[in-house]
């Protein structure tokens, strides 16, 4: 190994600018998940904590009376929203009529906003209730709104278990929140 400088390399910050045969997929928001591990999700409910924080810090894009909308911290696609009741309930049949109605209305509004700001072609909408059903956070009910585009499927998720996300979460939150009230 040599300490000789690489031609054209000023410092480590410019390393990614040197052309080579590799494509780089930058997903810096994933490091928070990797570094934290699963324990924080066992210690505290992130959906109960989110409304106590600023909208920017919690990724909340809209607040209703009984429910709120925030970006998924670990999205399947850019703009992946979650609609959560404020109450800590785990099953849809535990929600009041008012909560069900507001979750539905916020879901409809979320779809309209995502169509406007991201020009998506469709959506996956659903709730995974219980760990066995695939809920990552099974103690707090939440509905997913995942925007989809005609060409959004590629080999990354299948071969590399990787999802390419073209925007950082803060940028997406700002865009969706600004359009929510427009």
pLDDT tens for 64-85 read: 999 999 999 888 888 999 999 9
Catalytic residue list contains 142: yes
Burial of 1 (0-12, 13-18, 19+ CB in 10 A): exposed
Least confident of 30-39, 42-51, 55-64, 116-125: 30-39
The whole-number average pLDDT for the span 134-157 is: 83
Structure-block tokens of residue 136: 């990552």
- Cα(23)–Cα(68) distance, integer angstroms: 37
pLDDT at residue 157, rounded to an integer: 59
Q: Is the pLDDT reported for residue 11 higher than 80? A: no
pLDDT at residue 1, rounded to an integer: 47
pLDDT at residue 166, rounded to an integer: 72
pLDDT at residue 7, rounded to an integer: 56
pLDDT at residue 3, rounded to an integer: 54
pLDDT at residue 142, rounded to an integer: 97
- Fold of the CATH domain 25-180: HIT family, subunit A (3.30.428)
pLDDT at residue 21, rounded to an integer: 58
Using N-to-C axis directions, what is the helix angle for 97-118 and 169-180, rounded to 10°? 110
Across 93-102, 118-127, 171-180, which has the greatest mean pLDDT? 93-102
Mean pLDDT for all residues in the chain: 82
Place of tokens 């059903």: 133
Selected catalytic residue, list 80, 140, 142, 144: 142
The whole-number average pLDDT for the span 42-64 is: 92
């Amino acid at each position: 190994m040599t300490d000789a400088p690489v031609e054209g390399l000023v410092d480590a910050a410019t390393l990614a600018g040197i052309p080579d045969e590799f494509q780089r997929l930058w997903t810096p928001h994933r490091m928070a998940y990797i570094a934290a591990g699963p324990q924080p999700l066992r210690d505290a409910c992130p959906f109960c904590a989110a409304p106590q924080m600023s909208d920017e810090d919690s990724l909340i894009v809209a607040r209703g009376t009984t429910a709120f909308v925030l970006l998924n911290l670990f999205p399947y696609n850019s703009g992946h929203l979650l609609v959560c009741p404020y109450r800590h309930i785990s099953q849809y049949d535990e929600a009041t009529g008012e909560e069900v109605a507001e979750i539905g209305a916020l879901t409809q509004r979320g779809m309209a906003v995502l169509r406007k700001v991201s020009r998506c072609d469709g959506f996956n909408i659903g709730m995974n209730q219980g760990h066995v059903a695939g809920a990552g956070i099974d103690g707090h009910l939440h509905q997913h709104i995942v925007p989809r585009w005609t060409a959004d499927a590629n080999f990354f998720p299948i071969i590399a278990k990787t999802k390419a996300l073209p925007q950082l979460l803060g940028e997406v939150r700002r865009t969706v929140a600004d359009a929510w009230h427009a």
